[in-house]
Chains A and B, each alone.
Chain A
Amino acid sequence: MIWASWNDFWAMGGYGLYVWGSYSVVALVLLLEVRAAGQRQRRAIAQVHEHKEDTDI
């Protein structure tokens, strides 16, 4: 095991800010992209429904 304790792990040998600043932003950006893609798909489906209602009338 590389790490003596969890504190040791989070400290990253003094580079904690840089390492976790990198990984947290990567995780955040990818999660936001996934959420945005889900919203776009739901919006696209809703648009198709709207169009159908328009033509049905």
Chain B
Amino acid sequence: MLKIFHWAAPQTFYPLAGKLWRPFAVLAAALALAALYLGFFVAPTDFQQGEGYRIIFVHVPASWMSMVIYLAMAFWAFLGFTFNTRLSGMMTQALAPTGALFTFLSLWTGALWGKPMWGAWWVWDARLTSELILFFLYMGYIALTSAIDDPRRADKAGGLLALVGAVNVPIIYFSVKWWNTLHQGASVSVTKGSSMAQTMLWAMLLMALAFWAYSIAMALYRVRSIILERERHTHWAQEVAA
């Protein structure tokens, strides 16, 4: 346990993140290439949606990441409130831009999928609306934390928003069950397994893993910038940047 607190110091985490981000970036690129190959050259044509269904290989992973990253932010915010570690707030902030971008990509690819299949770019259905609210939560978090000059106070205010906003995530996830939505139900379920062809499923899962690795690499890379921005007055930061 003490070891964890040792790594939680910005000064010790900076070089660790510096070592770790690169392998995750390489892993992300390799997994994405494999997923694209499976998704475009191996996975068969869908009998209902033709080739249009291939949007699924980015749409579902992007949507998953939009929720996972928000939960990760809530987790770091919770750690921050519990242990009062400075790194927690930095990690929350490092994750936010990537989460916001995946939420945007989920909405964008969803619109491009909805148009040919439903005949509409957008409908005010529970799944789509709750995902849009998630996008606003990310934007709110980024605006709030950048509007407060004192980083520690920004972390506290932002952390509260991250924790409270996390209730929206299960609402998004279960929206297709709780309400009658135009959006289709889950393609992959823990209890029922998958309703997709094997190769389709693998392409989607590999892309999801690629997005996971990308997000981890991105958060580790960005947290280093945040650490330097906040610690620029310290001796160790000046040695590191030299």
Contact with B116, one of A15, A37, A40, A52 (Cβ below 8 angstroms): A15
Q: Interface size class for chain B?
A: 35 or more
Given A18-B52, A47-B229, A52-B238, check contact A30 B113 (CB 8 Å).
Answer: no
Q: Note all chain A residues with C-beta closer than 8 A to B50.
A: 13-15
- A5 contacts partner chain B, Cβ-Cβ < 8 Å: no
**In the assembled complex, which residues on chain B have CB atoms less than 8 Å from the CB atom of A30?**
101, 214
A51 nearest CB neighbor, chain B only:
B232
Is the Cβ of A45 less than 8 Å from the Cβ of B241?
yes
Answer yes or no: A25 CB below 8 A from chain B CBs.
yes
In the complex, A2 has a CB within 8 A of chain B: yes
Bound-complex Cα distance A13 to B58 (A): 18
Of B51, B97, B109, B224, which contacts A26 at CB under 8 A? B109
Q: How far is the CB of B107 from chain A (nearest CB, A)?
A: 11
Please indicate the chain A residues that have their CB under 8 angstroms from the CB of B240 in the complex: 48
Near B by CB (< 8 A), chain A positions 8-33 give 9, 12-15, 18-19, 21-23, 25-26, 29-30, 33
Question: How many Å lie between the Cα of A12 and that of B116 in the bound state?
Answer: 13
Chain A residues at the B interface, C-beta cutoff of 8 Å: 1-3, 9, 12-15, 18-19, 21-23, 25-26, 29-30, 33-34, 36-37, 40-41, 43-45, 47-49, 51-52
Q: In terms of DSSP, what is the predominant structure of the interface of chain B?
A: helix
**Which B residues are in CB contact (< 8 Å) with A40?**
222, 225
Q: Contact check, B58 vs A48: say whether CB atoms are below 8 A apart.
A: no
Closest to A45 in B: B241
* In contact, B112 and A22 (Cβ under 8 angstroms): yes
| Minimum distance in angstroms from A2 CB to a CB of chain B | 7
User: Which residue of B has the minimal Cβ distance to A32?
Assistant: B101
| A–B complex contacts, Cβ < 8 Å, 27 sampled | A2-B45, A9-B40, A12-B52, A13-B45, A13-B51, A15-B116, A19-B54, A19-B112, A22-B59, A22-B108, A22-B109, A22-B112, A22-B113, A26-B62, A26-B105, A26-B109, A37-B221, A37-B222, A37-B225, A43-B225, A44-B224, A47-B228, A48-B237, A48-B238, A51-B232, A51-B233, A51-B238
Query: Does B145 lie at the interface of the complex (its beta carbon under 8 Å from any beta carbon of A)?
Result: no
Asked if residues A15 and B224 are in contact (CB atoms below 8 Å), the reply is: no
Are B225 and A41 in contact, with the CB atoms below 8 A?
yes
A21 to B242: give the CA distance in the assembly, Å.
43
**A21 to B214 alpha-carbon distance, docked (Å):** 21
Tell me which residues across on chain A come within 8 A of B45, comparing CB atoms.
2, 13
Cα distance, A45 to B229, chains bound together (Å): 8
Given contacts A33-B97, A37-B225, A52-B238, contact A19 B108 (CB under 8 A): no
Q: By the criterion CB–CB under 8 Å, are A25 and B52 in contact?
A: no
